[in-house]
C-alpha cells in the first residue's frame, strides 16, 4: 500500500485500527482499476490457453519476442545502442546485464518512445543487497504480473476474490504500536493484511487468533513471517485449514516448509518472481516447480555463462518480456536455481522443471578453509523446535547462528546444528550459536537467512 505523502501517513498512523482498515479499503478501491484492468483480463485469457501448450513452442515464441525486443532496445535505448552489434545477431551475442549496470544506467534503459504503451509507474526493489533499483513499468505490465499471480493461486483452488491473508512487508501498523490489532482489513478485496514488523513473542498469539477468526482460503507472503504465525497456531492449539499457502520474496527453507505444513495441513507452494518482472517459477499442486515460459525468456547458466547441466546450481538470467517501457535483456537476477532433468510434470502444465530455488547468490558463507558454502538450510534439517534461524557472518571463517526457540529446546537444537556444521564446514570454521528473541529484518520486512557484513564478502 502506498500512502501518497508524509502527511497522509501521519493521518493514517493516528487512526484507530478500524480507521486504518477503512483507509486501506478506500485505497484498494481507488487503485483497483490500475491493478486489474483490461490488461489483466487480456492476460488471464491468454494464460488459460497457454498453460497446457508445449514447452518447446512457448520457449521458441519467447526467444522470438526477446530478439525483437533486443532490436528495439538497440534503436531506442542509449545503453543498448552501444552494446549490441549492428545488423542481425544471435541471442548469445546479447551481453548479460548485471544489477550494477541497471543501477548505474537506469535512465538509459528506458524506451525513447513511450506514447505507444500508455501510463507508466515507477516501482522500487527492496534493496536487500544494496541500493534499491528504480524501475519504469507500464500499468499493463503490472496487470500482466497480477494475471500470472492469480492464475497460479487458482491452480491451488484460490481464485481472485477468495479470503486472503497477507503476511509480507506492508507497513500497515505504526512501528510504535505495542498492542493489537497488528493487521488491517481490506474489505473490498476480502483481504486481511498483517504487519511483519510486530512479530514479537508476546504478539504472536494475537496474530494466530486473528487468522483463526478470519478463516482464510489463501495465506501468502514471506515464508519467515508465515512460519512464525504457523508456530503460534501450533502453540495455541488452533485448527486453521486454508486451501493453500503460497510463499514469495524469500527462499522457503526446509524447516519452514515443515512448520507451515504441520500448522495448516497443506504443503506450501513457492511463487518465485521479482519486482524487475524478469523470471517466474511457480510450484504446481503436484509439488513441481515450473518455469513460466510465457512470462520471460529464462536461462539457467553456469559460472562460465554456458547452459547449466540438470542437477547443478545455475544462475537465473531472464529477459523481461512484458514491460515495453524499460529494456531488461539477459538480466542476471542474482538468484540461484537447480534445473531438473525431469521433462514433464504429471499435472500436464507447460514449462521446464526446476528441482530447487536455492536463493540469492549472496546466501553463502565463507568457511574456515576459504570455501564458499551455500544451501545452508541443511544445517537445520534435524532441528524440530526452532521457529526461525539466521546465519550472520562478519568475517570469513567465522559465523554466528541465531536461533529463535524456547529455552528448554535450545540445548538440543544447538547440538543438532553443530552436528550438521561438522559435516558441511571446514573444522577451521569458528561457529557460535546463540538463542535470540527475534531476527533482524530489512526495510521491506524480510528476514535474510544469511546476513553478510561487507568485510565477509
**Which residue, of 328, 359, 390, is where some domain finishes?**
359
The four Cα atoms 378, 303, 95, 328 give a dihedral, to 10 degrees, of 0
Q: Are residues 101 and 229 in the same domain?
A: yes
Q: Are residues 325 and 431 in the same domain?
A: no
Q: Are residues 340 and 387 in the same domain?
A: no
pTM above 0.85, yes or no: no
**Pairing state between β 296-301 and 365-366:** unpaired
Phi, psi of 317 (to 5 degrees): -115, 125
* Rounded Cα gap, residues 230 and 261, in angstroms: 9
**Of residues 138, 162, 136, the one with CA closest to residue 149:** 162
Structural domain for 376, as ranges: 362-456
Q: How confident is the model at residue 5 (pLDDT cuts 50, 70, 90)?
A: confident
**What is the per-residue pLDDT for 116?**
72
**What is the per-residue pLDDT for 254?**
85
**More confident of the two residues 38 and 126:** 38
Q: How confident is the model at residue 134 (pLDDT cuts 50, 70, 90)?
A: confident
- CATH number, domain of 378, equals 3.30.300.30
Residue 207: strand, helix, or coil: helix
In terms of average pLDDT, the best of 165-174, 230-239, 427-436 is 230-239
**β-strand partners of 452:** 393
Q: How confident is the model at residue 130 (pLDDT cuts 50, 70, 90)?
A: very low
**Of residues 213, 221, 148, 157, the one with CA closest to residue 185:** 213
Q: Is residue 1 part of a domain?
A: no
Q: Is the pLDDT of residue 235 over 60?
A: yes
Q: Are residues 186 and 316 in the same domain?
A: yes
Q: Is the pLDDT of residue 22 over 60?
A: yes
Q: Are residues 349 and 367 in the same domain?
A: no
Q: How many domains does the chain have?
A: 2
**What is the per-residue pLDDT for 189?**
97
**What is the per-residue pLDDT for 128?**
46
Q: Which residue is it, cell 547449466? A: 308
Give me Rg for the CA atoms of the chain.
22
88-97, 217-226, 436-445: range with lowest mean pLDDT: 436-445
Q: What is the pLDDT of residues 54-81, one digit of tens each?
A: 999 999 999 999 999 999 999 999 899 9
**Of residues 410, 405, 441, the one with CA closest to residue 224:** 441
| Percent residues over pLDDT 70 in the chain | 92
**What is the per-residue pLDDT for 383?**
72
Q: Is the pLDDT of residue 4 over 90?
A: no
CA atoms within 13 A on the CB side of 294: 20
* Rounded Cα gap, residues 198 and 176, in angstroms: 9
Amino acid at each position: 500500500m502506498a500512502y501518497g505523502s508524509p502527511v497522509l501517513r501521519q493521518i493514517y498512523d493516528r487512526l484507530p485500527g478500524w480507521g486504518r482498515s477503512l483507509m486501506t479499503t478506500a485505497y484498494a478501491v481507488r487503485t483497483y482499476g490500475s491493478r486489474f484492468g483490461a490488461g489483466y483480463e487480456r492476460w488471464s485469457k491468454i494464460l488459460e490457453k497457454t498453460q497446457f501448450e508445449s514447452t518447446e513452442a512457448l520457449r521458441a515464441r519467447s526467444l522470438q519476442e526477446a530478439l525483437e525486443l533486443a532490436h528495439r532496445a538497440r534503436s531506442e535505448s542509449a545503453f543498448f545502442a552501444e552494446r549490441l552489434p549492428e545488423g542481425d545477431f544471435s541471442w548469445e551475442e546479447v551481453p548479460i546485464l548485471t544489477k550494477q549496470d541497471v543501477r548505474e544506467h537506469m535512465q538509459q534503459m528506458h524506451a525513447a518512445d513511450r506514447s505507444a504503451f500508455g501510463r507508466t509507474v515507477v516501482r522500487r526493489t527492496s534493496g536487500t543487497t544494496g541500493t534499491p533499483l528504480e524501475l519504469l513499468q507500464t500499468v499493463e505490465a503490472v496487470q500482466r504480473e497480477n494475471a500470472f499471480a492469480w492464475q497460479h493461486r487458482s491452480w491451488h483452488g484460490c481464485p481472485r476474490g477468495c479470503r486472503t491473508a497477507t503476511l509480507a512487508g506492508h507497513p500497515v501498523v505504526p512501528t510504535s504500536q505495542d498492542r493489537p490489532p497488528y493487521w488491517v482489513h481490506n474489505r473490498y478485496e476480502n483481504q486481511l493484511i498483517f504487519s511483519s514488523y510486530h512479530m514479537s513473542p508476546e504478539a504472536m498469539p494475537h496474530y494466530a487468533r486473528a487468522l483463526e477468526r478470519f478463516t482464510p482460503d489463501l495465506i501468502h507472503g514471506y515464508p519467515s513471517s508465515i512460519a512464525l504465525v504457523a508456530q503460534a497456531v501450533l502453540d495455541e492449539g488452533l485448527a486453521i485449514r486454508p486451501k493453500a499457502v503460497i510463499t514469495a520474496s524469500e527462499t522457503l527453507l526446509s524447516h519452514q516448509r515443515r512448520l507451515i505444513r504441520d500448522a495448516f495441513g497443506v504443503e506450501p507452494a513457492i511463487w518465485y518472481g521479482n519486482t524487475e518482472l524478469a523470471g517466474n517459477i511457480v510450484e504446481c499442486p503436484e509439488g513441481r516447480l515450473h518455469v513460466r515460459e510465457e512470462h520471460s525468456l529464462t536461462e539457467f547458466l553456469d559460472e562460465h555463462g554456458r547452459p547449466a547441466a540438470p542437477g547443478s546450481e545455475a544462475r537465473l538470467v531472464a529477459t523481461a518480456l512484458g514491460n515495453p517501457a524499460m529494456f531488461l535483456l539477459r538480466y542476471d537476477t542474482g538468484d540461484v536455481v537447480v534445473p531438473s532433468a525431469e521433462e514433464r510434470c504429471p499435472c500436464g502444465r507447460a514449462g521446464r522443471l526446476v528441482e530447487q530455488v536455492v536463493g540469492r547468490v549472496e546466501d553463502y558463507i565463507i568457511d574456515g578453509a576459504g570455501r564458499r558454502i551455500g544451501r545452508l538450510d541443511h544445517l537445520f534439517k534435524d532441528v524440530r523446535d526452532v521457529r526461525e534461524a539466521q546465519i550472520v557472518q562478519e568475517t570469513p571463517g567465522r559465523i554466528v547462528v541465531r536461533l529463535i526457540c524456547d529455552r528448554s529446546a535450545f540445548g538440543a537444537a544447538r547440538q543438532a546444528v553443530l552436528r550438521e556444521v561438522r559435516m558441511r564446514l571446514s573444522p577451521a570454521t569458528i561457529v557460535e550459536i546463540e538463542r535470540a528473541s527475534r531476527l533482524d529484518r530489512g526495510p521491506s520486512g524480510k528476514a535474510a537467512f544469511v546476513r553478510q557484513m561487507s568485510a565477509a564478502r
